A and B are shown apart, each in its own frame.
Chain A
């Protein structure tokens, strides 16, 4: 199974090798899509965790025991589609292919399921139509 999650680390756990433990002790694949962690402060990690269902569930229990706040990712990037001029500046930097120019109409297509919230489109869009929704629910 595969889960995309935002992990919020309380200040006291930021210095613990939690991601290392996840991989080593629970045999799950952890793909870090975005990270905002400062030593001594709270941190956020956007991850994709995949593995056997029981392992993933045990890993989640472990995270809770370390007081890591877990939230499933509902949306990653918000896009004000109505104002889009279909220039392609965002598609140019979108390596997972969530933003692509439709070859026929040359209109921008956004496939949120492919988005890894790398934030490159936020900076690339000349009309500033993207917003990060790091939060959840």
Chain B
């Protein structure tokens, strides 16, 4: 008889401590010898994770009001400009915002310092109004003395991402790391079979309201991410062969940990932030079992040439090849390395597995599913 489990049934098992929980890597290994139907009968939840640089990230804070109050119009935190175009003392710290004099320090570093509980210098200016008379402030803030720290990342957890290489004669410093000339290296940035959206490529179980692991605490999927597309080309195993779906995520940064949110600087590119995300996938039936069983050799991605401004496609490769550390392109063997940390992703998948097993992390059915067949626009210059 075909297996069908509801979210409620799976959560009931989790509450009783009876749910069978595996990481996506463990289930991929298990899937070598079991059919999807057999696997659906054995496993209830599969934990997935990723820990990579995700530029489209940031944090809202509310500093609390001074007396007399100020309506901040320009503000910096540790010298890094922050967005003030919202209410008086609400600020948004963009992860990639740069310190004007120090290109290697930016918003992500400020976020990491606040999460770590350190003091951060706040400077703000305003024209002064009848209700907000104060014009200038210079003080320090920290996690304890401000009201909220809400991480809201408009685009995280890319479903697949192309491999970057460089055929030009010069080293290219990119958000995909340092790309050595004449195909000197190949950089990729996903956790392959452990990656969240590669384990549910049709986004059946991940949607608005999905409870996730975000930066060391519980977070939620708030919307589909920017540049989300669900019309991307699929390979024979039903997985998009290039960047496709994305997630907008939200969580309480005051409970996050600097172990899972890490500021980063890519040479001659700028500041970005490593974000740790884990998503539990319920094995509702045979179809979901088949999805979570996916293995690195079944997940493919494009190889793009960053030596050419148009980033032309040079070929395709599986994550199995990439993770072996060497790929072949144009008859040349190229060292392949990841920019996202599989070590940290495994740590997150393991932690999440433990939380689900202990009953402290319950699964959520999406409040609403993400759009199907959504494409992507390019900017027309007219």
- A126 at the B interface (CB under 8 A): yes
**If the complex has contacts A88-B341, A92-B185, are A106 and B266 also in contact, measured as CB distance less than 8 A?**
no
- B246 at the A interface (CB under 8 A): no
Task: Determine, out of B172-180, B210-218, B230-238, B368-376, the stretch whose residues face the partner at the interface.
Answer: B172-180
Q: Are A107 and B343 in contact, CB atoms less than 8 angstroms apart?
A: yes
Residues of B within 8 A of A128 (CB): 104, 265
- B57 at the A interface (CB under 8 A): no
Task: Determine, out of B71-79, B126-134, B331-339, B355-363, the stretch whose residues face the partner at the interface.
Answer: B331-339
Q: Are A86 and B266 in contact, CB atoms less than 8 angstroms apart?
A: no
Partner of B262, one of A85, A107, A123: A85
Partner of A85, one of B180, B272, B274: B274
- B295 at the A interface (CB under 8 A): no
Q: Are B51 and A85 in contact, CB atoms less than 8 angstroms apart?
A: yes
Contact flags A108-137 to B (C-beta < 8 A → 1, else 0): 000000000000100110111000000000
Contact flags A64-97 to B (C-beta < 8 A → 1, else 0): 0000000000000000000001111101110100
Residues of A within 8 A of B185 (CB): 92-93
Return A15 CB to nearest CB of chain B, in Å.
29
- B13 at the A interface (CB under 8 A): no
Q: In the complex the two chains form, what is the Cα distance from A128 to B341 in whole Å? A: 16
Residues of A within 8 A of B51 (CB): 85
**Closest A residue by C-beta to B52:** A87
Partner of B274, one of A87, A101, A124: A87
Residues of B within 8 A of A92 (CB): 177-178, 185, 187, 335, 337, 339
Residues of B within 8 A of A103 (CB): 324-325
Partner of A88, one of B173, B180, B266, B338: B338
**Closest B residue by C-beta to A87:** B341
Return B127 CB to nearest CB of chain A, in Å.
39
Residues of B within 8 A of A93 (CB): 177-178, 180, 184-185
Q: In the complex the two chains form, what is the Cα distance from A86 to B264 in whole Å? A: 13
Within 98-135 of B, Cβ neighbours of A (below 8 Å) are at 104
Partner of A105, one of B180, B274, B337, B343: B343
Return B177 CB to nearest CB of chain A, in Å.
5
Residues of B within 8 A of A124 (CB): 177-178, 267
**Closest A residue by C-beta to B335:** A92
**Closest A residue by C-beta to B272:** A126
List residues of B whose CB falls within 8 A of some A CB.
51-53, 104, 173, 177-178, 180, 184-185, 187, 262-267, 272, 274, 324-325, 335, 337-344, 346
